[in-house]
Structure formats: C-alpha cells, structure tokens
Structure 1
Amino acid sequence: MPGTTATQGIKTMLHPVSDLGKAKAVYAALLGVAPQIDEPYYVAFEAAGQHIGLLPGGGPQGLTQSLAYWHVPDIEAKVAELTAAGATVKDAPKDVGGGRLVATVVDPDGNLLGLLQDS
C-alpha cells in the first residue's frame, strides 16, 4: 500500500556515543573525511551526500540507539500516512532552525523512524 508522499531516502543518521573523541576517530577513519562540525556537544560528518552526527550521551533527544532520518517533502503528510498505517508519534514535527522540520515516529516493533523536511 504505497503512500502519497515518497521519501527522498535516508540522508541523515545520528549515533549516540559515550566517548566523543574515540567515536570521532572511528567515524573519520570510516568515512575518510574530517568532521565538518566539531563541537563538544555534536560532531558531524558530510560524506557521499549523507550527514552523520555523533551525539555524546545521546544528546538532548536522549537517544539510546542510532536514528535514521528519512528526508521527506511534506512531513505533516508523511506523519499522517505513517500513523494511519500503525505507527505512533514519539515527537511531533518541530522546527529545529533554518526552516528544517523533524519528527520521530515508532513502528509497531518499537523501532524509531526519523523524518526530516528541509524548507
């Protein structure tokens, strides 16, 4: 049962880390690039069209597992489609700056699905 709004794929992935320095070294080796953002609260890499973020202690979201963000053209429509299909909303769409909207839903098995809409 296809939805009415297709995704643009997974382009953003966040990983909670316990040791930011060690994680930064591993991801730099994996991706072959230095971080584009390197702050004590967030380290981010841009590689092959993807944004890979490292969140010490799970960041303000309190992540305990990695979270993939599916980029979508209409976040409200996609949240409605997903909830109609059986997902539940964990975090409703909100603006995180620069017109970027994010939301998190939970599938029937408890997996987190991130949604991201750029303006």
Structure 2
Amino acid sequence: MSNHTIAVPVTDLDAATAFYTTAWGVEPHTVTSYYVGFNLDGQEIGLNPHGAAQGMTGTVVYWMTDDLTGKVAEAEAAGGTVVFPVTEVGGGTSLAIVTDPAGNQVGFITQG
C-alpha cells in the first residue's frame, strides 16, 4: 500500500469514471458518490467530485499521517496556509489541504 494518494478533482463523476476506467485499463475498486478509487500498480488514485468545493485547483497528492491535526499545524508553522481544514469526508477518512509558501497544494489524509 502506498503512503500517499493522488486525488483528481472532477465535475462529472460518472463521465470521469468512464474516462479513467478506459484510460487506465482497470476497474475502480471503490465507487461512492464522494470518491471513486483506482489502484494502479499499488498507487491509489481517486476521483473527487467535491474537489472544487474543497479548494482543489488541480490534482493533489495526499500524504498519509496518523496525526492529521498535528501535521497540518506543523505545515502551517513551516509557512503553509490551510486551504481546506481537517474534515471527515466519509468512510472513516479525514483530510486537509494546505499550500506551501509558493501556493502549491499539498494534502494530508488519515483513514480511521
């Protein structure tokens, strides 16, 4: 299992699921109204229909952490800015998005 997840913001989850299923040549392992997940050679890549509402401006890599709140606080102390605060998004998963000092987005995620 990967220590990070790549999330792609999409506006039409059904259309995006059909496209990426064809593009990547694999069926999704998880299909919900809030996330469609694919496993590509051990790399988790998910489609997020709520990405724009969460502040995503493009594809975001979410790094796994056991202490989500602590990791976000550390990123802020290092010059980051919270774009999407720690939020439970479904299925026991919580995440947050911060930007680095240059405005690049980085995500942090924990799964309960």
TM-score, normalised to structure 1's length?
Answer: 0.70
2:6 matches 1:13: yes
Residue 67 of structure 1 contacts residue 112 of structure 1 at CA under 8 Å; is this kept in 2?
yes
The answer for unaligned runs of 5 or more in structure 2 is none
Give aligned pairs, total. 111
Question: Match for 2:104: what amino acid?
Answer: N
**Is the alpha carbon distance of 1:45 and 1:17 closer, same or farther for their aligned partners in structure 2, counting shifts above 3 Å?**
same
- 1:63 alignment partner, SS class: coil
In 2: Cα distance, 1:94 partner to 1:57 partner? 13
Tell me by how many angstroms 1:99 deviates: 3.1
2:25 matches 1:35: no
TM-score, normalised to structure 2's length?
Answer: 0.73
Bigger Rg, which one: 1
2:78 matches 1:85: yes
- Per mean C-alpha deviation after superposition, the further-off stretch among 95-104 and 37-46 is 37-46
Query: Of the candidates 16, 31, 54, which is equivalent to residue 61 of structure 1?
Result: 54
- Per mean C-alpha deviation after superposition, the further-off stretch among 63-72 and 51-60 is 51-60
Q: In the TM superposition, what whole-angstrom CA distance separates every residue of 1:37-91 from its partner, at most 9, and x where no partner exists?
A: 3467653212333321224584543533111100011111111211111111112
CA RMSD across the alignment: 2.8
Q: Which residue of 2 aligns with 1:51?
A: 44
In 2: Cα distance, 1:13 partner to 1:53 partner? 6
The answer for unaligned runs of 5 or more in structure 1 is 1-7
In 1: Cα distance, 2:64 partner to 2:38 partner? 17
Residue 41 of structure 1 contacts residue 59 of structure 1 at CA under 8 Å; is this kept in 2?
no
Query: In percent, how many aligned pairs have the same letter?
Result: 43
In 1: Cα distance, 2:91 partner to 2:49 partner? 23
- Per mean C-alpha deviation after superposition, the further-off stretch among 21-30 and 41-50 is 21-30
